[in-house]
Amino acid sequence: MFTTKNILYSALTIAFSACGYSASAQDYRLPAAHQAEHSDLIAAQHNVSDQIKVQDTELFLDNLFTEEEEPELDIYTEGWDSQNVNCYRNAVVPQTKEINVSKFAMPCPGYMTSPYGYRRRFRRMHKGVDLKVQIGDTIRAAFDGKVRLTKFERRGYGYYVVIRHTNELETVYGHLSKFLVEPDQYVKAGDPIALGGNTGRSTGPHLHFETRFMGYAINPSAIFDFENQTTHTDTYTFDKRTYENARDYSPRSTKSSASLASSGKTPTTAASTYTIRRGDSLSKIAVRHGTTVKQLCKLNGLTTSSKLSVGKKLKLR
């Protein structure tokens, strides 16, 4: 009796014969190198159960979050109107500068979808943070100041606003859908300046937010605590030397325990554990908490290539 399987098998045999492929698998002679490649592939296979851990899925999503965005051109150095944007080109940037950030407003209430830092995939810096917004959400001025530019840059920022603040910082707001201010207009911290959008090189509605000091892109997360919708301290200390030394460093680390102690705040280095967040790497955590990657690995039984799981606690000391 013919079963469906038999019929299929016969059909396949006929098809193979018709094409002249009647030989069985062992008749094929594969080059030794090819065989070696197969062995390597088999050796490199991971246990299937290892691949479906929740943490791994989270980590995968985190990496996706960090890298799915297209890289923005740097309007200060690369945009077609960079002459206009970077008016600090020949200015002497001080080694350090205390910046008063006590009177502030969050640019939008959205959570961070992509942190500041080096993006390996695009081999370039992401000079701001990306914050979740819906198209049409109100975007607010982070500090008091004067609108310097409202422009369009199709290869990167889309519709963007640059505000120069009285504390000498500049903030940049990108991928907007509508301007609510005009150049030279004075704004107070918290004033609506634009509506959120998805213009320019953007894969979904978000706000690209930068904080600059004389053209230097500072990590906005060093000033703002986006998770808790506040600032870390009342004064942010810009340090040019530290900025220049590390592409992916978090300026929050430049605050020494001493200066934090004198400001009356608890130094971040005092914490003994740390909960891993999106966008973290061992080196970032180490720098931020005044320790080393080596020490973190030793304390937590990790290697430098260990994957970090968001939400997991790390011993710091």
Binding site for Zn ion (CB under 5 A): 130, 208
Residues 6+ apart with CB under 8 A from 304: 282, 293, 297
Least Å distance between CB 114 and Zn ion? 6
* Angle, CA of 172, 173 and 175, to the nearest 5°: 135
Give the pair of three-digit tokens for residue 135: 């198209």
Least Å distance between CB 153 and Zn ion? 13
Rank residues 208 and 255 by Cβ distance to Zn ion and give the closer one.
Answer: 208
Rank residues 165 and 208 by Cβ distance to Zn ion and give the closer one.
Answer: 208
Could you tell me how many residues make up the chain?
Answer: 317
How far is residue 198 from each of residues 157, 158, 208, 257, 301, measured CA to CA in Å?
Answer: 9, 8, 10, 40, 42
Least Å distance between CB 139 and Zn ion? 14
Rank residues 200 and 251 by Cβ distance to Zn ion and give the closer one.
Answer: 200
From CA 3, how far away is CA 229, in angstroms rounded?
67
The string of DSSP letters for 92-107 reads: ---SEEEEE-SS---S
Strand (E) or helix (H) holding 19: none
Least Å distance between CB 168 and Zn ion? 23
Give the pair of three-digit tokens for residue 297: 């690995």
Give the pair of three-digit tokens for residue 187: 């704004």
Least Å distance between CB 128 and Zn ion? 5
Rank residues 130 and 170 by Cβ distance to Zn ion and give the closer one.
Answer: 130
Rank residues 130 and 191 by Cβ distance to Zn ion and give the closer one.
Answer: 130
Instruction: Determine contact, residues 141/106, Cβ cutoff 8 Å.
Output: no
Residues 6+ apart with CB under 8 A from 278: 62, 65, 66, 112, 115, 310
Rank residues 130 and 144 by Cβ distance to Zn ion and give the closer one.
Answer: 130
Give the pair of three-digit tokens for residue 27: 């008749």
Least Å distance between CB 4 and Zn ion? 55
Chain position whose Cβ is nearest to Zn ion? 208
Rank residues 115 and 145 by Cβ distance to Zn ion and give the closer one.
Answer: 115
* Residue given tokens 């690209």 in the structure block: 208
Least Å distance between CB 131 and Zn ion? 9
